[in-house]
Amino acid sequence: QVQVVESGGGLVQPGGSLRLSCVVSGSDFRNYAMVWYRQTPEKQRDYVAAITAPGTTNYAESVRGRFTISRDNAKNTVYLQMNSLKPADTAVYYCRDLKGALVWGQGTQVTVSS
């Protein structure tokens, strides 16, 4: 059974950095386009960034220039490097394949606060 496990969240001050990881087990990971989403209690899940199987990337306007998505197919892992974090980035972060074939993981909480 395929599992999606996000990790790397935490509490960070404004301007700080975090690196999120998402491990996808038991699947043909290298063929998936992968997407990071985030969700606050008041909103639906919003798109953050995506990376195709060959490695082309795309970002939401709100994070472009601050966040970097990458992948390591040998480790079945997609990363999200987050720099210059703002309080508005506070959310639970999830990853999933673009087509929605994989189950949702539990997410990882990111809190940006002084």
List of residues 6+ apart from 18 with CB closer than 8 A:
8, 9, 10, 12, 82, 85, 110
- The pLDDT value given to residue 28: 87
Q: For residues 63-83, give the mean pLDDT.
A: 97
Secondary structure letter of residue 84 according to DSSP:
S
pLDDT for the residue numbered 87: 96
**Cα–Cα distance between 18 and 86 in angstroms, integer?**
12
- Would you call 20 exposed, middle or buried from its count of C-beta atoms within 10 A (0-12, 13-18, 19+)? buried
Contact between 5 and 93 (Cβ < 8 Å) = no
Looking at per-residue pLDDT, the higher value among 2 and 45 belongs to: 45
Query: Rounded CA gap, 95 and 101, in Å?
Result: 12
Would the pLDDT of 62 be above 80?
A: yes
